[in-house]
Amino acid sequence: MNKKDIVNALKAELDGTIFGLGLSMPNVDYSGGRPYIEVSFPDAARSGGTLKGGEIVREIGRMSVVVCTDLDKGEDEANDFADQVAAKFPEGKSFPITGGKVIITAPPDIRGGFRDGPEWRVPVIVRYLAS
């Protein structure tokens, strides 16, 4: 199980989304317009299953998907997109990866929206377990 497989499995669910939104991936400059979603992986904790170490058995982490819309569209548009993003990651959904699988461990959290310059942003937090 490696990090690349984990994040790519989660990102693939958003790539080519049916929402008609642009997609900003980690460490890639986004030059499109709004509305779009911004993906990042803010934290993850790994644990092994043996006393001798060197073996990663599982990773618990979060994927952040921030919906970004024009400020003058109001919060309703961003909240509608946030609901659509959350619906793609229902609790219990799993994705196969080399050497294991990624499981969504809880319903996604849709956080409160906030203003950021000309944008209205609504974060959606997806919690996962890879094992």
pLDDT digits (tens, 9 = 90+) for 26-43: 888 888 899 999 999 999
Q: What percent helix, strand, coil does the chain show, rounded to 5?
A: 20, 40, 40
- The pLDDT value given to residue 10: 95
Tell whether the model's pLDDT for residue 51 goes beyond 80.
no
Within 19-131, strands assigned E span 22-24, 36-47, 58-70, 94-97, 100-104, 109-110, 114-116, 119-130
Average pLDDT for the chain = 90
What is the distance between the alpha carbons of residues 77 and 130, in angstroms, rounded to a whole number?
A: 32
For residue 46, the model assigns a pLDDT of 85
Q: How many residues does the chain have?
A: 131
pLDDT at residue 27, rounded to an integer: 86
> pTM score, two decimals?
0.90
- pLDDT tens across 84-111, in order? 999 999 999 999 999 899 999 999 999 9
* Complete domains list, the chain, with CATH: 3-130 (3.30.2000.20)
Residue 4 has pLDDT above 90, yes or no: yes
CA–CA dist 70, 78 (Å, integer):
9
Q: Are 113 and 102 in contact (CB under 8 A)?
A: no
**pLDDT band, very low/low/confident/very high, at 61 (cuts 50, 70, 90):** very high
**What pLDDT was estimated at residue 119?**
95
C-alpha to C-alpha distance for 95 and 56, rounded to whole angstroms: 18
